[in-house]
């Protein structure tokens, strides 16, 4: 049996049509999991290449348009996964948005819109899937946090940083509440990863900013989506059963003191 094998597991992944979510879907399928993939049509990412990669790995995928700020959408995908595959064992609550807004302009709507997706979206996914995990006596609640809010701040992204820090409190609490059911809950804090989000020059770093960060990482590069997908594969596996309630920073060492 290979290590970090996910054969027989079913994983629900949000934000699965691009970036970290798409890489995680492929890597999970290569590890043996069937997947329920949530994509968000307004962003225009094509989910079909992700499904093709899953099928090329010999696994099955179902897909659904999901807005993680909608409880009905989230619960609908969990139900569809249970109908198709029998259960949900793993949730990767990965959907997220970044918006550049200085505090003076951060009105209620701007604050809430990021909270709804980046923090409340994860809570909705976890809440919907936990009963299935309890029946299976196996669960992995995984959230894409960020170094922003947990290691560093991010000017003009205080709502994003607060949401990403909130995920840490969420997984720590669920880790204790459901640890007796074979369920673990952990968050991953990526540093800069080359994805549509980080390459957006308006709401994030943009291509020049991403390249500038690469010079500050000991390895001389920013992260790729696979760097996070492989961490999720480990955390989703049986072998990670004693890792619970943790925040795992995956930034290539960028945020170690003394680098600048």
Catalytic residue numbers read: 160
Q: How far is the CB of 189 from ligand NAD (least distance, A)?
A: 7
Tell which one of 11, 12, 13, 20 touches ligand NAD (CB under 6 A): 20
Extract the tokens encoding 17: 């049509």
Binding part of the chain for ligand NAD, among 5-13, 133-141, 177-185, 193-201 by CB under 6 A, reads 193-201
Contact track, ligand NAD, 114-133, x by CB under 6 A = ---x----------------
Residue ranges in 208-237 that form contacts with ligand NAD under rule CB under 6 A: none
Strands 183-190 and 61-65: unpaired
Please tell me whether residue 192 binds ligand NAD under the rule CB under 6 A: yes
Please tell me whether residue 195 binds ligand NAD under the rule CB under 6 A: yes
Please tell me whether residue 96 binds ligand NAD under the rule CB under 6 A: yes
Please tell me whether residue 18 binds ligand NAD under the rule CB under 6 A: yes
**In this structure, how many other beta carbons lie within 10 angstroms of the beta carbon of residue 256?**
12
Binding part of the chain for ligand NAD, among 16-24, 102-110, 131-139, 179-187 by CB under 6 A, reads 16-24
Please tell me whether residue 95 binds ligand NAD under the rule CB under 6 A: yes
Please tell me whether residue 247 binds ligand NAD under the rule CB under 6 A: no
Please tell me whether residue 158 binds ligand NAD under the rule CB under 6 A: no
Please tell me whether residue 67 binds ligand NAD under the rule CB under 6 A: yes
- What is the four-CA torsion angle of 10, 16, 21, 24, rounded to 10 degrees? 40
Please tell me whether residue 21 binds ligand NAD under the rule CB under 6 A: yes
Q: How far is the CB of 77 from ligand NAD (least distance, A)?
A: 10
Binding part of the chain for ligand NAD, among 2-10, 80-88, 96-104, 235-243 by CB under 6 A, reads 96-104
Contacting positions for ligand NAD (CB under 6 A): 14-15, 17-21, 40, 43, 45, 66-69, 94-98, 117, 144, 146, 190, 192-193, 195-198
């Amino acid at each position: 049996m290979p290590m970090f094998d996910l054969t027989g597991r079913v994983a629900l992944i949000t934000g699965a049509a691009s970036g970290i979510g798409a890489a995680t879907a492929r890597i999970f399928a290569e590890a043996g999991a069937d997947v329920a993939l949530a994509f968000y049509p307004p962003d225009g990412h094509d989910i079909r290449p992700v499904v093709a990669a899953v099928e090329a790995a010999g696994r099955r995928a179902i897909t659904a348009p999901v807005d993680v700020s909608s409880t009905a959408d989230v619960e609908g995908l969990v139900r569809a996964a249970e109908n198709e595959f029998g259960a949900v064992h793993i949730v990767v609550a990965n959907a997220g948005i970044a918006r550049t807004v200085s505090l003076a302009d951060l009105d209620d709507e701007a604050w809430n819109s990021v909270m709804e997706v980046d923090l409340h979206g994860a809570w909705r996914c976890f809440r919907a899937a936990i009963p299935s995990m309890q029946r299976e006596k196996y669960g992995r609640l995984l959230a894409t946090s960020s170094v922003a809010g947990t290691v560093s701040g991010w000017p003009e992204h205080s709502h994003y940083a607060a949401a990403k820090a909130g995920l840490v409190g969420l997984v720590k609490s669920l880790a204790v509440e459901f640890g007796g059911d074979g369920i673990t809950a952990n968050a991953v804090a990526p540093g800069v990863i080359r994805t549509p989000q980080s390459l957006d020059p308006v709401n994030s770093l943009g291509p020049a900013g991403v390249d500038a960060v690469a010079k500050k990482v000991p390895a001389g590069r920013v992260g790729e989506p696979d760097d996070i997908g492989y961490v999720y594969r480990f955390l989703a596996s049986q072998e990670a059963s004693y890792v619970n309630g943790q925040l795992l920073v995956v930034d290539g060492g960028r945020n170690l003191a003394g680098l600048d």
